[in-house]
Each structure stands twice: as C-alpha cells, then as structure tokens.
Amino acid sequence: MIIIPAIDIIDGKCVRLTQGDYERKTVYHHSPLEIAKQFEAAGLRRLHLVDLDGAKAGSVTNWKVLETIAQHTSLEIDFGGGIKTEQDLQLVFGSGAAMATIGSLGVKDEDLFGSWIEKYGPDKFLLGADVRNEKIAVSGWLETTDIDIIDFIGKYAGKGITQIFCTDVSKDGKMEGPSLELYKKILAQFPQLFFIASGGVSSLADLEELENAGCKGAIVGKAIYEGKILLTELATFS
C-alpha cells in the first residue's frame, strides 16, 4: 500500500477543513511547495492536491501552486477541485498534474466525463467517491444523492477507470478511524481496483488495517499535520 499525502489549498496556503466546512479551517503552512518537498524528502512518491478555492468557485483557481510543485519536485500529482470544463482539464494537465481528480462531475455529467475518459484515457483520472451512508455525496458534501457507492464505482470501472478513492464524509478530518467495513465491502466487489482509502486516518495502526483489508493506497492529511503520524514512520509503506 502506498501513502498519498494530501495538500488542500485556500488562498495559496496549505489548509485542512473539518468535514468539508470552510468555516472550520486550519491553516497549517503558507508554502505548499515546502510541505511537498518535505513529503518528497521522506520518500513519498505521490501527492493529492486539492484546490478548495476552485471547488467553491466551480473552476480551477490554484493551478499556479500545482505548476510550482510539479516543477520543483518529482512527485506524481493528482489535482482536483473545480474541474468542470475541458479548458480546466487541459490547464490541470498543462500545469503538471499526472492525473485529474474527478468527483461531482462524474455524478452530474456522466456524458462529459465519459468523453474525457475516451479522449485522454482512463489512466489520466482519479475518481473520487464521497459517501454518506453508502450513498454518493456531491457539491462539497452538501447534497446526498440516492446513488449507491457500489453502483457508482461499477459504472466507471466499466469505462476503464482503475484508480478510485472513497471518502466517508462522516469521518473526514475527525481522525476517528477510517471506514474499514465500507472499504471491505467495496473491495469484495472490485478486487481488481487500485482502491485508495481516504478520511479518518489517525494512526499507523489505521494504515496497517487498511493495508490488511486490501487497500492499494491511503490518502493522509490531518494526521500528518497534527503530528499523529510522523513522516519518518511512513517509510515502511513507500
């Protein structure tokens, strides 16, 4: 299992939200590049970069941060937040992202996302599935749909998508442990996926449980910034 550290960006700064609430924001560092370099120095190879301004605005905003990190590190970056048009998508790829992270668009405009998968190839996308009570949540988690997580993943696995991360909205940013039972259920249905756990990770023990459950990756954010997991401790997974 690989560890994928997360950097969430607001106003060009490294922040974390609790349960996606912009009013519950903590600024951890003013330079995302410095944080990214620390991750790279610790032996981590990937980075989950989230443009929270872009997610709120509905168009990519912090692409310069992506460009800077891509130019000054060798991290493989997936970038998400506000990718709604092909112009946004091309900006993200042109700024150095290895993959575009797609979430709400995959729910709200299947035809558009499907056309991108055909044009750019499924390997260029990381599908994000935000879940509340096993139903897909969209629009910054403000809206819960009646779409079942298994059905959602099955649809895009059928289109060739292989990398998917799933965030249990009730767990994110609270460091109360990941949704192991949900992940086991998904992995039982789709053992071939490069499935990435996200949300709730608070300790090395959590990561070991995710690895034992069959997860291929885990996105870790707040636990690193709060010192619950040390970067030196993550070397065993990289």
Amino acid present at 149: I
**What is the Cα–Cα distance from 69 to 33, expressed in whole angstroms?**
5
The more confidently predicted of residues 179 and 173 is: 179
Q: Is the pLDDT of residue 51 over 70?
A: yes
Q: Above pLDDT 70, what percent of the chain?
A: 95
The pTM of this model reads: 0.94
In the residue annotation, 130 being an active-site residue is answered as: yes
Q: Could you list the residue range(s) of the whole structural domain that residue 154 is in?
A: 2-236
The single residue of 8, 88, 168, 172 carrying the catalytic annotation is 8
CATH number, domain of 212, equals 3.20.20.70
Instruction: Name every residue whose Cβ is closer than 8 Å to that of residue 158 and which is 6 or more positions away in sequence.
Output: none
Residues 60-96 have pLDDT tens digits of 999 999 999 999 999 999 999 999 999 999 999 999 9
pLDDT score, position 24: 78
Token pair for residue 130?
């935000």
Token pair for residue 65?
């941060």
**What is the Cα–Cα distance from 183 to 168, expressed in whole angstroms?**
10
Helix, strand, coil percentages for the chain (3-state, nearest 5): 40, 30, 30
**What is the Cα–Cα distance from 58 to 129, expressed in whole angstroms?**
18
The single residue of 130, 168, 172, 206 carrying the catalytic annotation is 130
pLDDT band for 22, please (50, 70, 90 cuts). confident
pLDDT score, position 235: 77
In the residue annotation, 88 being an active-site residue is answered as: no
Of 48-52, 156-160, 171-175, 199-203, the least confident: 171-175
pLDDT band for 19, please (50, 70, 90 cuts). low
In the DSSP assignment, the letter for residue 34 is H
Token pair for residue 224?
């690193």
Q: Is the pLDDT of residue 138 over 90?
A: no
Q: Is the pLDDT of residue 225 over 90?
A: yes
- Our count of domains for the chain comes to 1
Region 135-161: mean pLDDT is 90
Of 13-17, 117-121, 127-131, the least confident: 13-17
pLDDT score, position 162: 97
